[in-house]
A and B are shown apart, each in its own frame.
Chain A
Amino acid sequence: MRGQAIVEARDVVLSFGETPALRGATFAADRGEIVAVMGPSGSGKTTLLHCLAGILAPTAGEIHFAGGRIDNRSEHDRSSLRREHFGFVFQFGQLVPELTVEENVALPLLLGGARRAAALAEARGWLERLGLSGAHARRSGELSGGQAQRVALARGMINRPQVLFADEPTGSLDSLTGEHVMDLLVAAAREHGTTVVLVTHEPRVAVYADREVIVRDGLVHALAADRSGS
């Protein structure tokens, strides 16, 4: 039985011109749950994530967050919703190279109108926790891939989001570094009760999640029941 969904896609259809990316995708994640979204390249994982996060508006179907429908709200509303309640981590950090590490991390707070000193102090707290205290004043362009992903994670979590959307957060990292980032991501999410929608094609990353779904051809499949025991 499913519990209370915090974020949900119902029969979502979305096409890019002639290309159908989602063809009736249904997905839900509970509060505090970590769900892996797997599936082949081009199957619609990123599109699903962008719909759930209110970045893309579906052609048909509905997106719900915390019990309310969000896909029919204005872009302005969805954007403030994202700022307040959602966090994001992408495959290649997508940090702003001209800003320092701590400015990058503080960005969601600064965009939300927080005072600069307070935002930077909060950012430093996160950097310390993720083992990056020495790097706070560096330009983000100077970081290694693993460091950049930890900075991205700090930025994704700094506003204590209800849902963290992570799209291949370890995709550009080697196994050991990827594990380190995942350990930190899961620990941070668990501590704050953050729901995580984790897009990954790597099974060793997906096992960090509580369960996984597979996207194939724009449809979401739950895994067939495991009949091997129990």
Chain B
Amino acid sequence: MSVPLTLLGLIEREPSHGYDLKRDYDTFFGRGRPLPFGQVYSTLGRLARDGKVVISDVEAGDGPDRKRYVITDLGATEVDAWLTEPVEPEPHLQTVLFSKVMLSLMLQRPAREYLDTQRAAHMRRMRELHQIKKGDDLIEALLADHALFHLEADLRWIELTVARLDHLAQLVRR
């Protein structure tokens, strides 16, 4: 699940209150499924407990949104590792690939390099599946085919996204 890492990335972009984080998440990542406030705060609580964010200034007043969260070195390292490492190539990666692209653009990281790394991981997995297909087992071959078609769909999306990175970067710029 990429919600904690996405929130962490948004905090890296700019020290933020829970409310800002929810708004940015819903705008760019929620895709019509807003993040409940409860989940925002429970996630922030865990990130703080694990030393990935700290609370900078607590403003006077009531309500849960008095705290501003700032990323720590540990948190920044985690965001970097997440963006840099390709995810395990398997079908249904849409949300995580999408989040990584958006976030790396927001943080002005080399999104294109990440996508190429992901592409290489996908191609490598496809080669393995291709080898499986070359065996005699028809059932194995059919299952490999299913995975191959799905990974190919990911790759098409990756290629299309590479072609649109400049546009997308403008969209998330502010």
A: residues with CB less than 8 A from B are 40, 202-204, 206-208, 212, 214, 216, 221, 223-228
Contact = CB atoms under 8 A, between A and B. Distances in A.
Of all A-B residue pairs in the complex, the 4 with the closest CB atoms, nearest first, are A226-B120, A224-B116, A207-B130, A228-B121
B155 A203 contact: yes
B126 interface: yes
A229 to B, nearest CB: 8
B137 interface: no
Nearest to A224: B116
A212 B124 CA distance: 11
B124 A228 contact: yes
A164 B160 CA distance: 29
A202 B152 contact: yes
A40 B163 contact: yes
Contacts of B127: 207
A216 B115 CA distance: 14
Interface in B139-173: 148-149, 151-152, 155, 159, 162-163
A227 B117 contact: yes
B86 A226 contact: yes
A122 B116 CA distance: 44
Contacts of B72: none
Contacts of A204: 126, 130, 148-149, 152
A225 B119 CA distance: 10
Interface of B: 84-86, 88-89, 113, 116-117, 119-124, 126-127, 129-130, 148-149, 151-152, 155, 159, 162-163
A227 B84 contact: yes
Nearest to A202: B152
A224 B88 CA distance: 16
Contacts of A203: 122-123, 126, 151-152, 155
Given A40-B159, A203-B155, A221-B116, A226 B124 contact: yes
Nearest to B128: A207
Given A226-B86, A227-B86, 13 more contacts: A40-B159, A202-B152, A203-B126, A203-B152, A204-B148, A204-B152, A212-B123, A223-B120, A226-B124, A228-B85, A228-B88, A228-B120, A228-B121
A216 B163 CA distance: 9
B116 A223 contact: yes
Contacts of B159: 40
Nearest to A230: B124
A200 to B, nearest CB: 12
B116 A208 contact: no
A61 to B, nearest CB: 24
A226 B155 contact: no
B123 A223 contact: yes
Contact of B85 (A202, A206, A207, A227): A227
A208 B130 contact: yes
Contacts of B123: 203, 206-207, 212, 223, 226
A196 B126 CA distance: 20
Contacts of B119: 223-224
Contact of B117 (A206, A208, A221, A226): A226
Contacts of A228: 85-86, 88-89, 117, 120-121, 124
Contacts of A221: 116
A195 B127 CA distance: 19
Nearest to A201: B159
A36 B12 CA distance: 39
